Amino acid sequence: MKYFYIFFIFIFGLIFGSFINALEWRLRQKEQAELDKINLDNSLSIINGRSICPSCRHQLNALDLIPLVSYLLLKGKCRYCHQKISWQYPFVELLTALTFVIFYIFWPYSLVSVGGIFLLVISLLILTGLIALFIYDLKWYILPSSIIYVLFGLAFIYKVLFYFTIDQNISSVVVGSLIGLLIGGGLFYLTFILSKGQWIGGGDVRLGALLGFFLGGPINSLIFLFLASFIGSIYSIILLLTKKANRKSLIPFGPFLILGAILVQLFSLHFRLFIHDMFIY
């Protein structure tokens, strides 16, 4: 039965990966239109617009929209204009599906109750938004506020469910969430002010506040910030050593914040025990 759930979540992840691709492309089109002061037609609406080919803008039919499968059947080309389809599309679909499966396998809370299942579902929705932010920041060096604000709403719902399902101490949930928000957002806001926006952007401040609020508490917030800095430093050193970047190169920090937050969400207890054992011994 467990393998059936894994298969179901994998398919679920492919579908949401396809949604991430569409969301990323449409947000970018909207952003470019606003910069160029062009009015977008309804076909590019994030909510109402139908799926279209990015090259020829032909509306896609159902057979073109099967995640991963359509890409393979079409041999990576549009059915209508025969232009190559970016490898990003199947990659993001597969990445999202695999991340969903990992989230399910290492989920730290019980899935016996209905509340526990809903907690996982809300977490997967939040994960979808975080992957969208990850891809967008990696490609365009921007963290869209619209996604972050939606995730704040989902994080609030997560906290309510967390209270009823896991920790029925209202002060612990509320205070922990606020402390996490202040640490995650406060440290980045201070950095933003001191550097006058040269080191990090406003999107990093909002993302830090969101992730701190979602993870809750000072320990989780500090661990995810440490992990983000550590992973980001390793990545930057590799780029410098391979001469793919220099000291003046712009490297987005959002993806590392998201990686750190995901690791803490899944392995918070392990990190806490590791820190405890370090101080004991």
Residue 60's pLDDT band, with cuts at 50, 70 and 90, is: confident
If one counts every other C-beta atom within 10 angstroms of the C-beta of residue 3, the result is 7
Residue 106's pLDDT band, with cuts at 50, 70 and 90, is: very high
Give the pLDDT confidence score for residue 158 in this predicted structure: 96
SS (H, E, C) the chain: CHHHHHHHHHHHHHHHHHHHHHHHHHHHHHHHHHHHCCCCCHHHCCCCCCCECCCCCCECCHHHCCCCHHHHHCCCECCCCCCECCCHHHHHHHHHHHHHHHHHHCCCCCCCCHHHHHHHHHHHHHHHHHHHHHHHHHHHCCCCHHHHHHHHHHHHHHHHHHHHHCCCCHHHHHHHHHHHHHHHHHHHHHHHHHCCCCCCCHHHHHHHHHHHHHHCCHHHHHHHHHHHHHHHHHHHHHHHHCCCCCCCCCCCCHHHHHHHHHHHHHHHHHHHHHHHHHHHC
The answer to whether residue 105 scores a pLDDT higher than 90 is yes
Assess contact for 126 and 16: CB atoms under 8 A: no
The answer to whether residue 46 scores a pLDDT higher than 70 is no
pLDDT digits 0-9 by tens, 113-141: 888 899 999 999 999 999 999 999 999 99
What sign does the CA torsion over 68, 69, 72, 74 have? negative
